[in-house]
Amino acid sequence: MQFRNLISILTILVLLSGFIGFETIRKSEKYVIGIIYPDVIQVDLNGNKTFEQNEIICIPQVETLTSNLTRNQDKLIKNLQISNSDAIKFGYLTDNFSESLLLNKRVKLKYTGQENQNCKFADIIINNESYRNKLLKSGFGFYNGKTLLKNEYNKQLSKAKKLNLVILNHRSNKYHKLGCKYGLIARDIIIIPARQLPKDAKPCKFCHIDKNSDNNKQNKNVIIPAYPLAISNGSIKMYLTDLTVKLKPDRKCSSLACKEILTQINQAQETIDIALYGWDAIPEIHNAVLNAKARGVKLRIVYDTSDNDYYPETKEIIKIADESATEGKTFLMHNKFMIFDRKKVITGSMNFSDTDFSGFNTNCLFFINSVDIAQIYLQEFNQMLAGKFHNAKTYVQHKTIILGDTKITPFFSPKDSVITTEIIPLIEKAQNYIYIPAFILTHDGMARALIKAKQRGVDVKLIIDATNCYATSSKVKLLRNVGIPVKIENYAGKVHSKSIIIDDKYIIAGSMNFTMTGENKNDENCLIIENARLAKYYREFFEYLWQKIPDKYLKQGVRAEGKYSIGSCTDDIDNNYDGKIDMEDKGCH
């Protein structure tokens, strides 16, 4: 008995010792929160997850090039005997190398004891290796103005020279050649691949005089979806919006998706039923609703009350509703659908807000002209109007409706558990590809199904919004670790879609984020649409977005409001919800 007790005590001591050791190691590690230059790093030294001026680490005895034009690197460029343009290109590769290696990683610091008014000097230890040594061995680092490994340096320089980069001025939306003096002196700029230029960006008239120059041919290999971003298939229309084109929201109903909503409001004769998460009183839309009321159309609304601060104008439409009901702040009433005259439905991921109506965010929206679909949605709507939300609702039978060559099946959260019962089985049956443009993915079961699909040879790709790439439960890291390509968008607007495209056959789309809360708690709706023509069209749009987002965002994320998020520092929007807009946000400096 005494021997057993001794063994138990020893076991507890070993476990306790291991835990203390683990905690000691963990606390000795620091978090890299930003890259100023590849040899000047922002490290969260005090653990408060906020960058402060005394938390800058300079890497000792190494120099690097950077594409950050605020740094004077003339002396190093002269020593290397390369052009300014090639130096910027080489710096672009060095920045990517540094960011993919360090950004948002836990590291250890090996201090030299030196410091100056700007930084403390220390080598960074990542995965038990010296970051300084990695810079030197890769050819990206220099000692006393010279490379230590000529072959590696020449390989990187050769790769850099092939890059087609431009200077984009966020504020003027003009782009410049790398050597253009007007681009070099502009303040709000970023170096990007020419293929990633916004569609409406204008060439600088001083450096793009030659009509046959490479920069003027920069878009020739870009996949362009068949604009306008709308496709009709009988009684169904699908609308997509492109965050890479619209870099600033407005109060106009400027997207084709919004114009369809406007048309249906203007044509309504008897009823307009709206389930909304939030409302911005965009003049054209709000006036159309007032006009509909004036001609005798009955307006009924169910709405969410959890985000009144974010959508303060919701109260404007509630005031004029004939009937309304709200969910009472337990879980979200996250639906975004409209029913017109009990025979037509508009639904999808689009909030009724200026950022979505204007096409600033990427969304997927459907207009369906079908009494059968409308009646299914009415059953769901009427329950909420009667005060039954979430699990208080009764089950709505989700019949598959056939409209020509299209099959449509509506599902509603939380009663349907649609990810588990419907979406995962479709993922398990996929044979060729699964493409997912989505605001967020945290659902464990769905992530496991995607991993298994990848393992059996299915082409799985995701585009995730920058706001959520580092969310606590995000599956981005897990999916990347098993070889699934996940790109993080780098534009001011949101990838607000909640959709999946499978095998040029299925589209899954609606208001439901791919989360446990979206599936089992919030009020949501989701469509499974089987139509080859629509699926192929959406797949081509996904491929277009994929090409416009640089490959470096396959390995790292991007700050939702910062100079590398195109347009986010001049859009008058708090893109990362930290209470700071544009140049007030540290990411924009």
Phi, psi torsion values for 216, nearest 5 degrees: -80, -10
What letter does residue 422 receive in the DSSP assignment?
A: I
Residue 205: CB atoms within 10 Å: 9
Q: Which residues are bridge partners to 271 per DSSP?
A: 298
Residue 181: C-alpha distances to residues 2, 88, 151, 206, 503 (Å) = 83, 14, 32, 9, 48
Which candidate, 484, 422, 481, places its Cα nearest to that of 457? Answer: 484
Which amino acid belongs to residue 18?
G
Which candidate, 125, 113, 112, places its Cα nearest to that of 43? Answer: 125
CB proximity list for 584: less than 8 A, separation 6 or greater: none
What letter does residue 71 receive in the DSSP assignment?
A: S
Residue positions annotated with a catalytic role: 496, 498, 503
Burial of 296 (0-12, 13-18, 19+ CB in 10 A): exposed
Task: Tell me the three state secondary structure of residue 180.
Answer: coil
d(CA 384, CA 392) in angstroms, rounded, equals 9
Burial of 579 (0-12, 13-18, 19+ CB in 10 A): exposed
d(CA 244, CA 223) in angstroms, rounded, equals 13
Which candidate, 342, 335, 475, 464, places its Cα nearest to that of 410? Answer: 335
Q: Decide if 57 contacts 71 (C-beta within 8 A).
A: no
Which candidate, 301, 249, 262, 294, places its Cα nearest to that of 278? Answer: 301
Q: Decide if 510 contacts 498 (C-beta within 8 A).
A: yes
d(CA 541, CA 193) in angstroms, rounded, equals 20
Which candidate, 142, 177, 176, 172, places its Cα nearest to that of 157? Answer: 142
CB proximity list for 292: less than 8 A, separation 6 or greater: 265, 266, 268, 272, 299
276 CA to centre of own chain: 22
